[in-house]
Amino acid sequence: MPEYFTTQSSFHVALIMDGNGRWATGRGLPRLAGHRRGADSVRRVIEASPGLGITDLTVYAFSSDNWKRPEAEVRGLMTLLSQYLRREVANCVRNGVRLSAIGRRDRLAPELLALIEDAETRTAPCNRVHVRIALDYSSRDALLHAAETCASNGQWSRSAFSAALPAPDVDLLVRTAGEKRLSDFLLWECAYAEFLFVEKTWPEFTGADLAAAVTEFRSRTRRFGALPAA
C-alpha cells in the first residue's frame, strides 16, 4: 500500500478548474462547450480521488465574482450544474461520494437549490470522499461569515474559526490553465497548502493528471515553519 494511505488520515485537495473558455475558443467553439467538457473532467477527478487517498476534494465551480460574466454564460453554467446533479447523484451514492455545496445559497435559482439539497441529503451517509462544490463562493465572504459566527458564540480560537468555515485546511491546491492566483478561493484554508499550477486547461485534465499532482505533492517536504525531520 502506498505510504500516503497510512501516514495521513485526511487529505484535502482543492482544484481551481480554470481554462474552460480558452479550451473552447481555441477550437472555435462557444465558451459553453468548454464548460460542458469541464463537467466531464469533474466526473473523472471525483472517480480517481478515493484511489489516490483523497478524503476531501473541493472544486471551484463558480465564484461570487463570476456573476460579472455575460448573463447567457451564467445561465449556461447554472444549467450545466443542474444537469450534472441530476445525472450524477445516483453514481455518487453508489460510489460512496458525499456531495456538498459551499458558498452563498440565497442567489441561486430555487430549482438548483432544491437539487443541491437533494444531493446533500442523499449522499450524506457516503464516506469514501467528501466533494465540496464551491458555488457562488467567495473566500472573503466566508471569512466574514466565520467572524460573525465566532462573535456570536464569543469564541475566537483558531480552531473555532476554522470550524466556522465550510472546508478543512487544504493540503494540495491545483490550478489549471497556467494562471497563478487564488481568485478568492480558500484563503485561510490554504495557509500551509502546497501549490501546483499546471498548463493544461480544465477540460484536458484527467484522473492521471490528478495522480501526477498527488505524486508531486508527496515529493515535497512540508515544514509548517519547523525544520524538516532529520
| 184 binds Mg ion per the rule CB under 5 A | no
Q: Are 45 and 15 in contact (CB under 8 A)?
A: yes
Q: How far apart are CA 177 and CA 29, in angstroms?
A: 17
- Given the residues 20, 40, 56, 66, select the one marked as catalytic: 66
20 is catalytic: no
Q: Are 137 and 107 in contact (CB under 8 A)?
A: no
State the burial class of residue 54 (Cβ atoms within 10 Å of its Cβ: 0-12, 13-18, 19+).
Answer: buried
The least distance separating ligand IPE from the CB of residue 35, rounded to whole angstroms, comes to 6
> How many CB atoms neighbour CB 6 within 10 A?
9
66 is catalytic: yes
Binding partner at 210 among ligand IPE, Mg ion, none, C-beta below 5 to 8 Å by kind = none
Looking at beta carbons only, is 141 or 218 nearer to ligand IPE?
Answer: 141
The least distance separating ligand IPE from the CB of residue 46, rounded to whole angstroms, comes to 16
Chain residues that interact with ligand IPE, rule: CB under 6 A: 16-22, 60-63, 66, 77, 177, 179, 181, 183, 202
The least distance separating Mg ion from the CB of residue 18, rounded to whole angstroms, comes to 4
Looking at beta carbons only, is 18 or 194 nearer to ligand IPE?
Answer: 18
Q: How far apart are CA 10 and CA 4, in angstroms?
A: 10
Looking at beta carbons only, is 132 or 175 nearer to Mg ion?
Answer: 175
The least distance separating ligand IPE from the CB of residue 50, rounded to whole angstroms, comes to 23
Q: Which stretch binds Mg ion (CB under 5 A): 17-25, 114-122, 144-152, 217-225?
A: 17-25
Question: Which one of 15, 18, 54, 84 is in contact with Mg ion (CB under 5 A)?
Answer: 18
Looking at beta carbons only, is 20 or 49 nearer to Mg ion?
Answer: 20
Q: Which stretch binds Mg ion (CB under 5 A): 12-20, 127-135, 144-152, 205-213?
A: 12-20
Q: How far apart are CA 169 and CA 150, in angstroms?
A: 18
CA atoms within 13 Å, Cβ hemisphere of 56: 20
Binding partner at 17 among ligand IPE, Mg ion, none, C-beta below 5 to 8 Å by kind = ligand IPE
Looking at beta carbons only, is 115 or 174 nearer to Mg ion?
Answer: 174
Catalytic residues: 18, 66
- Kindly list the residues in this chain that would bind Mg ion in the complex (CB under 5 A): 18
